[in-house]
């Protein structure tokens, strides 16, 4: 299977705008990045409110259904799909009505940005006059992954500093800054990335340790550009950090401790009924690599994780939960959300994520590739291939983007199948791509659902 509506960078920079008309496209161009994020939030809230208005209150306690257009829906995915397909125009009207109020507030944002630019950030920029441009731009490189939760009084100042620092070091990548902290992944030469780590560690606000940075072979070419921005959350779970804070996170386990817990779980086999090994990542990540005997939710992005927890609470009731993700950041908020439900006996998370685990146990209980959100797509520490080619079924775990224009899904298609022309995520997209190639390249195209998106529930029920 391939990913749904997901580019490799969507975890860091995504909004769910749906401008499918010429007026919508015109409106989109008139919105700033912050306004688009606000519009996306208003759309999600409007969608949820519309669905809630269709709930049938006459049902018996413990039973939920929705009535709309003369039909009755028993499952969340069914009513969501119906509303998305049938009531799109009404959702847009509700969205714009909701959006009008915060719009005036967001129009004041440039003043905040101007104030941030006025702050002197030069003290946080290291002196690199003794280092040549060649050292910063050429030679072996690395990709750095890190995050740090802390109180950031003025995120725009930190944003300006990060942009200036990365540009000075010729780094590319993505950095998210928020009141709750910072989250980034950047690539550059070994010299440049080492200077960056030192600058981060010496900043008085973050006080980070060397082990807080995960590194892998790569460089500036692993990203197409540099994107630094201020956001509500440093990892987009879609829940207000003031409501569910990282401070509520589960107990952190060092890789050695986590390894022992998984070892004990596997030793019990099917007899182990009191522990859940939970993968917090998206389905296209766990598809190519995961811990043995884990529960890997079939969700498209992390903002669906809270809904997944809500609809599958019985899976975790009275259980010990061991959570893991790529570098640890999703577990911080994810474990906090799960703990807020007050159903688990204990909630633990892998400190440093899979990245740190593989440094210590390259041939441990994690098998397959580790998905990364850059142009590499994957990194590996063992030779296991746990996924298959979408077309012929042979072992394959190297993702490529769907060849159909405007489809941002990833596809597992082996060399042989690609040579035979199977370069799209599904037959529907393959046919659509052929039709697009025959049409005028200047004609407008709007994203459509294909087999990969149409047949996948938004929130799977695994209870």
H-helix or E-strand spanning residue 233: none
Q: What is the pLDDT of residue 61?
A: 61
First to last CA, the chain: 22
3-state secondary structure of 348: strand
Distance, CA of 346 to chain centre = 25
Confidence of residue 272 (pLDDT cuts 50, 70, 90): confident
Confidence of residue 307 (pLDDT cuts 50, 70, 90): very high
Question: Among all chains, which residue has been given the structure tokens 């921005």?
Answer: 229
Confidence of residue 318 (pLDDT cuts 50, 70, 90): very high
Q: DSSP string covering 60-109, please? A: PTT---EEETTEEE-SHHHHHHHHHHH-HHHHHHHHHHHHHHHHHHHTTH
Mean pLDDT throughout 257-281?
94
Q: What is the pLDDT of residue 404?
A: 86
Sorted by sequence, the CB contacts under 8 Å of residue 233 that are 6+ apart come out as 176, 178, 180, 239, 241, 333
Q: What is the pLDDT of residue 103?
A: 46
Q: What is the pLDDT of residue 28?
A: 41
Q: What is the DSSP letter of 304?
A: G
pLDDT at 205 over 80: yes
Tens digits of per-residue pLDDT, 412-438? 999 999 999 999 988 888 887 666 665
Residue 69 bears catalytic tag: no
- Which of the residue ranges 44-48, 248-252, 281-285, 445-449 would you say has the lowest mean pLDDT? 445-449
Q: What's the CA gap between 10 and 188, in Å, rounded? A: 21
Q: What is the pLDDT of residue 24?
A: 45
Q: For the chain, give the mean pLDDT.
A: 84
Active-site position among 166, 325, 331, 425: 325
Q: What is the pLDDT of residue 435?
A: 66
Confidence of residue 96 (pLDDT cuts 50, 70, 90): confident
Mean pLDDT throughout 231-253?
95
Nearest to 452 by CA among 298, 305, 280: 298
CB 181 within 8 A of CB 147: yes
Q: What is the pLDDT of residue 74?
A: 82
Q: What is the pLDDT of residue 284?
A: 95
3-state secondary structure of 331: helix
* C-alpha separations of 382 from 126, 265, 293, 361, 402 in Å: 38, 22, 18, 10, 26
Confidence of residue 59 (pLDDT cuts 50, 70, 90): low
Structure tokens at 161: 């500093």
Confidence of residue 62 (pLDDT cuts 50, 70, 90): low
Position with higher pLDDT, 40 vs 321: 321
Tens digits of per-residue pLDDT, 108-162? 343 344 444 467 888 899 999 999 999 999 999 999 999 999 999 999 999 999 9
Confidence of residue 454 (pLDDT cuts 50, 70, 90): low
Q: What is the pLDDT of residue 55?
A: 84
CB 65 within 8 A of CB 82: no
CB 229 within 8 A of CB 176: yes
β-pairing, 181-189 with 71-73?
unpaired
What sign has the CA pseudo-torsion 418, 420, 426, 432?
A: positive
Tens digits of per-residue pLDDT, 100-114? 555 444 433 433 444
* C-alpha separations of 261 from 27, 255, 268, 306 in Å: 52, 10, 11, 25
Structure tokens at 170: 């010729």
Q: What's the CA gap between 371 and 163, in Å, rounded? A: 26
Tens digits of per-residue pLDDT, 2-44? 333 333 443 333 333 333 333 443 444 445 545 555 666 777 7
Position with higher pLDDT, 432 vs 247: 247
Mean pLDDT throughout 400-422?
90
What is the helix, strand, coil percentage profile of the chain, to 5?
40, 15, 40
Q: What is the pLDDT of residue 27?
A: 46
């Amino acid at each position: 299977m391939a990913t749904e509506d997901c580019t490799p960078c969507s975890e860091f920079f995504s909004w769910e705008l749906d401008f499918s008309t010429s007026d919508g496209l015109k409106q989109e161009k008139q919105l700033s990045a912050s306004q688009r994020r606000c519009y996306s939030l208003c759309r999600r809230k409007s969608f949820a409110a519309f669905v809630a208005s269709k709930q049938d209150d006459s049902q018996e306690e413990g039973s939920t259904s929705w009535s709309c257009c003369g039909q009755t829906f028993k499952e969340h995915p069914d009513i969501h799909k119906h509303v998305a397909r049938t009531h799109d125009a009404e959702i847009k009207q509700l969205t714009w009505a909701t959006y009008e109020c915060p719009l005036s507030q967001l129009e004041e944002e440039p003043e905040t940005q101007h104030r941030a630019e006025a702050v002197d950030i030069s003290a946080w920029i290291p002196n690199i006059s003794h280092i040549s441009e060649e050292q910063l731009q050429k030679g072996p490189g690395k990709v750095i992954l890190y995050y740090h939760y802390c109180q950031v009084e003025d995120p725009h100042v930190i944003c300006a500093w990060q942009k200036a620092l990365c540009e000075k070091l010729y780094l590319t990548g993505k950095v998210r800054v928020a009141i709750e902290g910072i989250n980034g992944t950047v690539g550059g030469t070994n010299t440049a990335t080492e200077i960056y780590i030192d600058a981060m560690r010496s900043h008085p606000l973050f006080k980070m340790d060397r082990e807080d940075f995960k590194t892998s072979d790569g460089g500036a070419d692993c990203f197409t550009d540099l994107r630094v921005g201020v956001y509500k959350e440093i990892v987009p779970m879609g829940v207000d950090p003031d409501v569910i804070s990282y401070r509520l996170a589960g107990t952190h386990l060092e890789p050695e401790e986590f390894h022992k817990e998984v070892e004990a779980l596997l030793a019990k086999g099917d007899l182990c009924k009191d522990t859940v090994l939970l993968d917090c990542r998206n389905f296209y990540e766990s598809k190519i690599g995961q811990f043995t005997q884990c529960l890997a939710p079939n969700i498209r992005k992390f903002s669906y994780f809270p809904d997944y927890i809500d609809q599958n609470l019985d899976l975790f009731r009275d259980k010990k939960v061991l959570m893991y993700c790529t570098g640890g950041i999703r577990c911080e908020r994810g474990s906090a959300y799960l703990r807020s439900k007050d159903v688990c006996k204990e909630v633990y998370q892998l400190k440093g994520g899979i990245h740190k685990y593989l440094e210590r146990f390259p041939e441990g209980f994690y098998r397959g590739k580790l998905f990364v959100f850059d142009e590499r797509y994957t990194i590996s520490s063992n030779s296991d291939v746990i996924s298959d080619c979408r077309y012929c079924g042979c072992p394959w775990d190297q993702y490529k983007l769907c060849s159909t224009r405007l489809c941002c899904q990833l596809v597992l298609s082996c060399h042989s199948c690609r040579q035979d022309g199977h370069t799209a995520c599904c037959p529907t997209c393959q046919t659509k791509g052929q039709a697009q190639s025959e049409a005028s390249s200047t004609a407008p195209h709007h994203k459509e659902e294909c087999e990969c998106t149409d047949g996948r529930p938004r929130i799977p029920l695994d209870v």
